[in-house]
Chains A and B, each alone.
Chain A
């Protein structure tokens, strides 16, 4: 309600001021009018954004594909995480390819970074986050293989073993261990860390992998152009007001 009152008030005052300026016989100052019209356009853009904005989010590993609005398909070609010497994050770079519905490449190896989104028509793709995706291949006594992702569990006797992640105590990639959290149905009863070929219930630990996945956000904002026009009008209004004031002061 206060926003509606504000917009009505702004509209009435802006129109009133503009009419007075047009009728004025002396020196006319249109800077504030442009600025106020810009604020009204901004209000319209904000309403359009509020009602029509859509966004989606996906974690992608290298080679993964995701469907975008407009029947585009985006494929993650590579994901890099660079750090400074101090370990401070320097860049997350998701290089993507985008195909149209006929499979034709429309975007080839585009690096999406923070502050460097990809724009395809109305859709914008942002570098939003990243995560580590740990997977362990469990080999059943029967020889059957099963890939277990972090957060999922297996049954071991009467207990559930939740796969919580992988770690390397020595920092050596050959010394990677899998960490399970044991749960008896009521409480956590302990933690177990196991290396390759060690046995857990009816399974043997096989391949252990831990790789980064990128978090990309797709945004479709129908108010984008309106807000952009509003921002330009506000900037223009401020500049015109300023320049006119300076000119009057000097003369």
Chain B
């Protein structure tokens, strides 16, 4: 119920963004939608908190809870970014991010993700899991911004705008990358060692998380070392996000492995 209210608020924010995009031609961000995304994020985290109290463990142990948490983090990141960058934030990036939240929450409310509140099975009863999942999603929330910025970059012809959007794309990936590395790879490896006696098992989810990490590593290295900018970087940012999405959904629904509950 709480997530549904958050979903309605996010939809309202999206409608406001669309109206402003049409009326102002994407020049100025709307003054309201980020103030809606903030309480929506709080509501989504409240839903997670209530579920956590019911199962006496941090409720990020199934697809529904993961999507709600992920959507909450993206809402928070978008909102904080808009507040910090004030009038300079491109409305299209906020709009794109908001659409992605709506898609994730729609999937969460679909039959693909069970809403049942279930306590964790023994393999999931570890606080390394909490760190692993939380840090991975926080990192990936920044990748969402990088992805939307990359799309905006490729569809925009204005050079000044492209320069600032390239900077936004880089900043969001540069912030998300170490957080994702810590969460998905470091904490994940430590948890695997504690639970199964090995750091790495080439499970499909692990392999795809590594592929995602390698794509973003390529993004940063081509930028730092080869000084690549613009179109090539934008394409890598898009490929990286597609790999992120496949790691989350594709592996869950198409491949089986140790992470089949996630």
User: B194 touching A115 by the CB < 8 A rule?
Assistant: yes
**Cross-chain contact A115 with B195 (CB below 8 angstroms):** yes
Residue among B121, B125, B197 with most chain A CB within 10 A: B197
Give the contacting residue for A231; candidates B125, B186, B196, B198; CB below 8 A.
Answer: B186
CB-defined contacts of B194 to chain A, threshold 8 Å: 115-117
Question: Once the chains bind, are A88 and B186 in contact (CB under 8 Å)?
Answer: no
Whether a CB of chain B sits under 8 angstroms from the CB of A134 is: no
Q: Are B122 and A91 in contact (CB under 8 A)?
A: yes
Interface centre among B174, B191, B198, B200 (most CB of A within 10 A): B198
Task: Report B-chain residues with C-beta under 8 Å of the C-beta of A91.
Answer: 122, 125
The verdict on A219 contacting chain B, using a C-beta distance below 8 Å, is yes
Q: Is A52 an interface residue (CB 8 A)?
A: no
Is chain B's interface secondary structure helix, strand, loop, or mixed overall? helix
A115-B121 in contact (CB<8A): no
Interface size class of A (residues with CB under 8 A): 20 to 34
- B189 pairs with A126, CB closer than 8 A: no
The reply to whether B122 and A114 contact each other, CB–CB distance below 8 Å, is: yes
Q: Interface with B: A69-77, A180-188, A205-213, A235-243, which one?
A: A235-243
Nearest CB on A from B207, distance (A): 14
Q: Is A41 an interface residue (CB 8 A)?
A: no
Question: Is the contact region of chain A dominated by helix, strand, or loop, or is it mixed?
Answer: mixed
| Contact indicator per residue, chain B 184-223, by CB within 8 Å of chain A (1) or not (0) | 0010011101111111100000000000000000000000
- Asked if A234 lies at the interface with its beta carbon under 8 angstroms from chain B, I say yes
In the complex, whether A113 has a CB less than 8 A from a CB of chain B is yes
Bound Cα distance A242, B186 (Å): 16
Q: Is A217 on the interface with B (CB-CB < 8 A)? A: yes
Which residue of chain B is the closest to A91 with respect to CB atoms?
B122
Q: Which residues of A contact B (CB under 8 A)?
A: 46, 49, 53, 55, 84, 86, 88-92, 113-117, 124, 126-127, 217, 219, 221, 224, 227, 231, 234-235, 238-239, 241-242, 245
Q: A124-B197, A126-B196, A126-B197 are in contact. Are A113 and B122 (CB under 8 A)?
A: yes
Instruction: Give the number of residues in B that approach A within 8 Å (Cβ atoms).
Output: 24
Report the nearest A residue to B129, measured CB to CB: A115
The answer for the CA separation of A154 and B199 in the assembled complex, in Å, is 45
CB–CB A84/B119 < 8 A: yes
- Once the chains are docked, how many angstroms separate the CA of A227 from the CA of B194? 13
Q: Tell me if B123 counts as interface (CB < 8 A to partner A).
A: yes
Name B48-98 residues within 8 Å CB distance of A: none
Please, how many angstroms separate the alpha-carbon atoms of A238 and B176 in the complex? 11
| Choice from A88, A116, A245 contacting B121 with Cβ under 8 Å | A88
Residue on B nearest A82 in the bound complex, by CB? B122
Measured between beta carbons, the chain B residues less than 8 angstroms from A224 are 193
The residue from B122, B174, B182, B200 contacting A115, defined by CB atoms under 8 A apart: B122
Tell whether, in the assembled complex, residue B197 and residue A234 are in contact, meaning their CB atoms are under 8 Å apart. Answer: no
A53 to B193, CA, bound (A): 13
Q: Check B257 for interface membership: any CB of A closer than 8 A.
A: no
Query: In the docked arrangement, what's the CA distance between A238 and B174, Å?
Result: 11
Known A55-B197, A115-B195: A242·B121 in contact at CB below 8 Å = no
Within 8 A of A (CB), among B164-192: 174, 178, 181-182, 186, 189-191
CB atoms of B189 and A88 under 8 A apart? no
Q: Which residues of B contact A92 (CB under 8 A)?
A: 122
Determine if A238 and B197 form an interchain contact, defined as CB atoms under 8 angstroms apart: no
Binary A-proximity of B118-146 (CB < 8 A = 1, otherwise 0) = 11011101101000000000000000000
Q: With A and B bound together, what is the CA distance between A91 and B123 in angstroms?
A: 9
- With A86-B118, A115-B195 already in contact, the answer to whether A235 and B186 are too (CB < 8 A) is yes
* CA–CA, A234 and B183, complex, Å: 12
Q: Are A115 and B197 in contact (CB under 8 A)?
A: no
Closest partner residue, chain B, to A31 (CB atom): B178
The answer to whether A114 and B123 touch across the interface, beta carbons within 8 angstroms, is yes
Complex Cα distance, B190 from A227, in Å, reads 10
Q: How many Å lie between the Cα of A95 and that of B182 in the bound state?
A: 33
A219–chain B nearest beta-carbon distance, Å: 4
Taking CB atoms, residues of chain B closer than 8 Å to A217 are: 197
The answer on a CB contact under 8 Å between A234 and B195 is no
User: Which residues of the other chain, A, contact B128 by a CB distance below 8 angstroms?
Assistant: 115
CB-based contact B178/A242 at 8 Å: yes
- B126 near A227 (CB under 8 angstroms)? no
How many angstroms from the CA of A221 to the CA of B196 in the assembled complex? 13
